[in-house]
Amino acid sequence: MLAFRMKIDVLTIFPEFFREVFDFGIIRRAKLAEIVEINIHDLREFAEGIHRKTDDRPFGGGDGMVFKCEPIFSAIEKVIGTCERENYPPLTRVVLLSPQGRVFKQSVAKEFADEASHIILICGRYEGVDERVNDALVTDEISIGDYVLSGGEPAAIVLTDAIVRLLPNALGSETSAENDSFSNGLLDYPHYTQPRDFRGRQVPDVLLSGNHAEIERWRSEKALEKTERFRKDLLQKEK
């Protein structure tokens, strides 16, 4: 039997959210090729009592609700086999999606693709998650950007997509991550396809020239131009 290269377990109170989201394109293909296995877990199933409560009011007062510890600890125990962080098997990462975490970037996606074989993504809701989850279970607190979502689910999708496409053999021959934006510190160069003339807008001549050296030069130039215009910060970081 072929071993999966990467396993991703998502913990959420809205499993339906993920019903089809991983069933398209590269992610779907990677699942079929057994490069990745993705499991969605309903946190409610790990909650106790007849009401299966996953959240409760915050100690100290204030608005909203907070995710309780118990269901998350039980879910982690089930998917990893332990909720003692020091006993996690090697290459296991327990990620809390949170606006307060390390900001997710291509380099972080690469780090996970290269250095993890089991990723657990905890999706919060409401005011967030009881801090003891962070203290005891989480290896990485990750934010997808400086804005607040109503739940961690969209963030879990973003991480899964960006990480899985970097796994060996996940991209078919028709795509490559090499020139993708951020992989080499630059944005990607502009792409064109048929027709050559679309409502009077022409494809740049150089791309039709067949001169590969010229084309390479043009593409580097354009990538640099675009980066300078929109993301100067990327160039400054290079130094």
> Active-site positions?
99, 127, 165, 180
Q: What is the Cα–Cα distance from 91 to 2, expressed in whole angstroms?
A: 19
Contact region with ligand SAH (CB under 6 A), list: 141-149, 168-176, 214-222, 224-232? 141-149
Contact region with ligand SAH (CB under 6 A), list: 37-45, 96-104, 110-118, 175-183? 96-104
Judged by CB under 6 A, does residue 131 bind ligand SAH?
A: no
Token digits of residue 71? 């269901």
Q: What is the Cα–Cα distance from 25 to 29, expressed in whole angstroms?
A: 6
Judged by CB under 6 A, does residue 155 bind ligand SAH?
A: yes
Contact region with ligand SAH (CB under 6 A), list: 2-10, 143-151, 175-183, 213-221? 143-151
- Cβ–Cβ < 8 Å for 54, 67: yes
Task: Pick from 81, 145, 172, 204 the residue near ligand SAH by CB under 6 A.
Answer: 145
C-beta of 14: minimal distance to ligand SAH in Å? 12
Judged by CB under 6 A, does residue 95 bind ligand SAH?
A: no
Task: Pick from 27, 129, 137, 186 the residue near ligand SAH by CB under 6 A.
Answer: 129
Judged by CB under 6 A, does residue 149 bind ligand SAH?
A: yes
Residue 41, phi then psi, degrees to nearest 5: -115, 135
Q: Based on CB atoms, which residue is closest to ligand SAH, 88 or 130? A: 130
Task: Pick from 35, 144, 170, 187 the residue near ligand SAH by CB under 6 A.
Answer: 144
Burial 37-59 (b: 16+ CB within 10 A, else e): ebebbbbeebbeeeeeebbeeee
Contact region with ligand SAH (CB under 6 A), list: 27-35, 82-90, 98-106, 201-209? 98-106
Judged by CB under 6 A, does residue 43 bind ligand SAH?
A: no
Q: What is the Cα–Cα distance from 154 to 209, expressed in whole angstroms?
A: 43
Judged by CB under 6 A, does residue 71 bind ligand SAH?
A: no
Judged by CB under 6 A, does residue 162 bind ligand SAH?
A: no
Judged by CB under 6 A, does residue 12 bind ligand SAH?
A: no
Q: What is the Cα–Cα distance from 31 to 25, expressed in whole angstroms?
A: 10
Q: What is the Cα–Cα distance from 112 to 156, expressed in whole angstroms?
A: 13
Residue whose C-beta lies closest to ligand SAH: 124
Q: Are strands 55-56 and 92-103 parallel, antiparallel or unpaired?
A: unpaired
Q: Residue 191: which region, alpha, beta or left (left: phi > 0; alpha: psi -120 to 50)?
A: beta
Judged by CB under 6 A, does residue 141 bind ligand SAH?
A: no
What is the torsional sign of CA 105, 109, 112, 118? positive
Task: Pick from 12, 143, 160, 227 the residue near ligand SAH by CB under 6 A.
Answer: 143
